[in-house]
Homo-oligomer: A and B are copies of this chain.
Amino acid sequence: MQNKYLQIYREIADDIREGVYPSQSKLPSEHDLMKDYDTSRETIRKALNLLSQNGFIQKVQGKGSIVLDAKKFDFPISGLVSFKELAGKIGERHRTHVEELELITPDETISRNLGISKGGKVWKTYRVREIDGERIILDKDYFNQTYVEKLTKEICENSIYEYIENELGMTISFAKKEIVVVEPTEEDRRLLHLEGFTNIVVVKNFVYFDDASLFQYTESRHRPDKFKFVDFARRTHG
């Protein structure tokens, strides 16, 4: 019975996804939702604000909450989702090849990106994502060993995030992302199917835990023709 507003958020989000509240229609008023869910108006408002942040609704003062087109804002890769979670949603045939996995003493670049002090070690893993028989994405992951003590091939093949959150009991919280386009390296060409492509999309990820500690740096290298990034942005006035 905890986190009432989160439960209400999830219920309404599901209702929107399933078409119970169609696009362009209006949600019941806060007063009505208050009675429906037997709670206070502030709790309803917390749930509605979450829906607004995540692009499900647009609140208009005096009018109500307008439902946005869920299909149009479909699977936003902008969030912080693992490949397994993503692949599960798009439902395509996918495989993960663990190309490398070792505990290393990081070089200067990795140390700086992960904020590692002298002597600290790092788990490094290269994983190739194969979709419909094509090797499309190369994920180069680096984990600070202070937070992720041990990794195995099995964990890397399944889902490292699942391991971290469910087994280690840590909470992955936020990330800074950076997207650039560069020329493929020899390594990219060796590990991916890049015939005829002269560019590669690199998504750099700095991932943090709940307590603001930086535990992961990742470079996700995508074949350009298969790359797509969807984002929902609100304009900040001021």
Partner of A60 from the list B58, B212, B235 (CB cut-off 8 Å) is B212
On whether the beta carbons of A177 and B80 are closer than 8 Å, the reply is no
Partner of A174 from the list B58, B178, B179, B211 (CB cut-off 8 Å) is B58
A29 at interface by CB-CB < 8 Å: no
Question: How would residues 46 to 86 of chain A score, 1 for a CB under 8 Å from any chain B CB and 0 otherwise?
Answer: 00000001110010100100101000110000111100000
A236 at interface by CB-CB < 8 Å: yes
Copies of this chain, count: 2
Question: How would residues 1 to 35 of chain A score, 1 for a CB under 8 Å from any chain B CB and 0 otherwise?
Answer: 00000100010000000000000000000000000
CB neighbours (8 Å) of A55 from chain B are 174, 176
Nearest to A177 among chain B residues (CB) is: B231
Interface residues of A in 144-189 (CB under 8 A from B): 171-181
On whether the beta carbons of B235 and A176 are closer than 8 Å, the reply is no
A233 at interface by CB-CB < 8 Å: yes
Nearest to A66 among chain B residues (CB) is: B212
On whether the beta carbons of A233 and B199 are closer than 8 Å, the reply is no
Question: How far apart sit A228 and B182, CA to CA, in the bound complex (Å)?
Answer: 11
Known: A6-B238, A78-B231, A179-B228. 8 other contacts (CB 8 A): A58-B208, A79-B234, A80-B234, A177-B229, A178-B231, A181-B181, A181-B224, A199-B199
**A-B CB contact pairs (8 Å), 7 listed:** A58-B212, A66-B212, A79-B234, A80-B236, A179-B229, A199-B199, A231-B231
